[in-house]
With several copies, the nearest count.
Chain A
Amino acid sequence: MDIDLIINNLVHPPVLFFFLGMVAVFCKSDLKIPDPLPKLFTLYLLLAIGFHGGVELRKTGINQEVIFALSAAMFMAVIVPIYAFFILRLKLDVYNAAAIAATYGSISAVTYITAVTFLQTLGLEPAGYMVAALALMESPSIVIAIILARIYAPKKENDENEFSWSGVFKEAFLNGSVLLITGSLLIGLASGEEGWDTLRPFTKDIFKGMLSFFLLDMGLLAAKRISYLKSAGFFLPPFAIVMPVLNGCIGIVLSKLIGLQPENALMLSILCASASDIAVPAAMRLSLPEANPSLYVPMSLAITFPFNIIVGIPLFYYLINKADELIPLFWK
């Protein structure tokens, strides 16, 4: 595997700021981005990604490739939480298994844009519709996880009346982050090139800077949360690495089946591989308060996210380019 790819990925300023954040925590510095400033970066990124995606989507329009890619994304968003749940049930109770399954079935927008940044340094740009895939993949795993928890959880007395399907769908699809990215995508679609020119300095020019700040904060958070995993036992940390690799590889295979370009294949596989850092925690807190957030949050934030941006992105890109050799081997 090309070591240049990894290095190239790592010396990019936004990624370096991620490491700076981790370093700060490891040497016990008091560097901190206080609440609610991180929320500002989160809102900004969701708005900018969604809007950009919408503008691009309007350019390409909806064709067969788009439909195939979105269907593959949707398929993964439904299937991943199901098999993740049953694997996790080997060691965990129903609530935690469901919450972690939801986390790995959904996506991480910041992992997505780190992959875009990686492609840009190679002179590539993913298709605009991949942002639609991102938006589509955020929610289904939330619904699946709640259904699974309902089916397998021990019945509690006088609990029936509290559960409402409309509440579940609301949490899944009207979650603040899902709504903001989807809404911004629709606004991008509606306003097109002209709207893009209006907002470009804000949504594009300063984007990498805001991303650097965001990743600095992610580094701080990831490093701080690692200690929470002490209580997680020997099963979950490896899971947080094996699961994304597995999901990413399935994503690659699907991409090849539907004939995606390498850059779009990378986006699909990194979406499959990434674990939710914004939408799922918000939904789980309300819908599965029995699950322990100090498991599913740090697994995603402190293991899967750094793994994906350091190893995952270049690895999947390498595999995508080797896939024509590998897939035949796989079939034999």
Chain B
Amino acid sequence: MKRVMKVEIITDSIEVENVAKLLDEIGVYGYSIINDVVGKGSRGVRSGYELTGLFKNSYIMVVCNEVEMHKIAEAIRPIIRKFGGLCIVSDVVMSIGKK
């Protein structure tokens, strides 16, 4: 039972590998990705383009500590600027997981 932070990122799914690389560089312990996210934001509807599977978002969740959280926000800011999306942060309790 440890207080940690949950970082949630939503951005264009073509950038998901770049985000993962940044997370690896920051050295977070792990992350989870959900790939089929659609939605609406400042750039209009992103509802997927069935012919080619384009134009979807990904949701990336990272459970980490506060220092890492700030590094993540710093690192992904240019990606979200260019490809859209958002990043939110909240407090959670790690109930089961690596120390």
Contact = CB atoms under 8 A, between A and B. Distances in A.
Interface residues of B, number: 17
Contacts of B36: 35
A274 to B, nearest CB: 14
Interface in B1-51: 12, 14, 36, 43-45, 48-51
A293 B53 contact: no
Contacts of A218: 51
A221 B12 contact: no
Contact of A282 (B45, B48, B52, B84): B52
B53 A294 contact: no
Interface string A209-243: 00000000110010000001000000000000000
B98 interface: no
A297 B49 contact: yes
B50 A294 contact: no
Nearest to B84: A289
B51 A294 contact: no
Interface string B78-97: 00001110000000000000
A281 interface: yes
Contacts of A285: 12, 14, 54-55
A289 B52 contact: no
A238 B23 CA distance: 32
Contacts of B14: 285-286
With most chain B CB atoms within 10 A of its CB, the pick from A36, A221, A277 is A36
B10 to A, nearest CB: 15
A42 B52 contact: yes
Contact of A34 (B45, B51, B53, B55): B53
A277 B52 CA distance: 9
* From A33, A42, A282, residue with most partner B Cβ within 10 Å: A282
A39 B53 CA distance: 7
Contacts of A286: 14
A39 B51 contact: yes
Contact of B51 (A42, A228, A292): A42
Of listed B45, B51, B53, B83, residue having the most chain A CB within 10 A: B51
A297 B54 CA distance: 11
Contact of B54 (A162, A217, A281, A292): A281
Given A34-B53, A36-B53, A42-B51, 5 more contacts: A33-B50, A217-B50, A221-B51, A281-B55, A285-B12
Interface of B: 12, 14, 36, 43-45, 48-55, 82-84
